[in-house]
Structure 1
Amino acid sequence: MKRRLFLKSAMAGSAVATAVGAGLLTPSMVFANTAAFKAKSDAAGASSASAGKGSFKFKAPKIAENGAVVPMTVDASKMDGVTNISFYVKNNGTPLAASFNLSGAQGYVSTRIKMGKTSPVDALVTAGGATTKVSQEVKVTIGGCGG
């Protein structure tokens, strides 16, 4: 059993080393944009986007029983050239909760974000150089009591 684990690890390591050596895997592709996530406001994000109700589907719970894992889904598959999908939580310490850079082929993201308290959540989709936004209020209950 240990031999199998060793072989898997060796193959995975060699694949990563080959990708780095070929320039296919660069640090900018691996690490998140720390400046955006450390920002205390959404000056370059949600406030500058145009309202796009109906241009894409944003699914979030009205009441989240556990603020540590709040499911969010954006389906922008009907939009052409989607390059970014981001989630901003206004009342979080860091408003940018998640950001996904996409190739433009498929505009669909499903994830879970962390929310400290009840807040409006903005889903932003960048497609064709324009950013559109859909907002929804998500109520976070303390202790999961639903009230």
Structure 2
Amino acid sequence: MNMKRRVFLKGTLASSAVAVAVGAGLITPRAVLAAWPKSAFEATSVNEAMSGLFGTDLAPGSNDIKVDAPDIAENGAVVPVTVTTTLPKVESITIISEKNRTPLVASFNLSSKADGMISTRIKMGESSNVIAVVKAGGKLYSARKEVKVTIGGCGG
């Protein structure tokens, strides 16, 4: 019991010291974020998003990519999507919802030792294709799946 109290007191003391240092201007917090393609995420069409992210139009289809999403999404605010690929040397996996106001939903950069798989939940404003774009070995590949949305998502 005393051990938990000691850990709590140490954590509180450390947090207070950092807060005082920030308040005194000794430590200045900065955003430590990777550069992100703002124009791609603000694009209003699939081609604009692809151009902003990869500098090219939509990639050719590939049977080595599988998009797992429901055929009918009962709630467009939470649509589960899993993208898997057997392509070697996967560098990134990107998800695009074709008819969203801003189609580029997510882009994941993977390390060379990561498996070619991501799983997430996306928002969809209306029924449309969900497009997965995989960059592997310096080349782009894509796959798509149509998802029908029955009730509101990001559009209503």
TM-score interval for Structure 1 and Structure 2 normalised by the shorter chain: 0.7 to 0.9
Aligned to 1:112: 121
| TM-score, scaled relative to structure 1 | 0.74
Cα drift, residue 105 of structure 1: 2.0
What one-letter code is carried by the residue in structure 2 that aligns with 1:40? T
Aligned to 2:32: 27
Aligned to 1:48: 58
Given that 2:65 and 2:142 are in contact with CA atoms closer than 8 Å, whether structure 1 keeps it comes out as no
Matched, 1:7 2:3: no
1:42-100 deviation per Cα after TM superposition (whole angstroms, max 9, x unaligned): 22529430111x21221011000110110000112x22111110111111000101110
Q: In the aligned structure 1, how far is the partner of 2:46 from the partner of 2:14?
A: 43
Pair 114,8 (structure 1): closer, same or farther in 2 beyond 3 Å:
farther
Runs of 4+ in 1 over 6 A off after TM superposition: none
Aligned to 1:20: none
Cα drift, residue 4 of structure 1: 1.9
Q: Which has the larger radius of gyration?
A: 2
Count, aligned residues: 128
Matched, 1:36 2:24: no
Provide the identity percentage: 44
Q: In the aligned structure 1, how far is the partner of 2:128 from the partner of 2:13?
A: 43
User: Structure 1, unaligned stretches of length 5 or more?
Assistant: 15-25
What one-letter code is carried by the residue in structure 1 that aligns with 2:106? A
Cα drift, residue 142 of structure 1: 1.8
| TM-score, scaled relative to structure 2 | 0.70
What one-letter code is carried by the residue in structure 1 that aligns with 2:136? A
- Indicate the SS of the match to 1:79: coil
Given that 1:119 and 1:139 are in contact with CA atoms closer than 8 Å, whether structure 2 keeps it comes out as yes
- Indicate the SS of the match to 2:102: coil
Cα drift, residue 109 of structure 1: 0.3
Q: In the aligned structure 2, how far is the partner of 1:141 from the partner of 1:97?
A: 19
Matched, 1:64 2:73: yes
Cα drift, residue 5 of structure 1: 7.8
User: Structure 2, unaligned stretches of length 5 or more?
Assistant: 19-30, 51-55
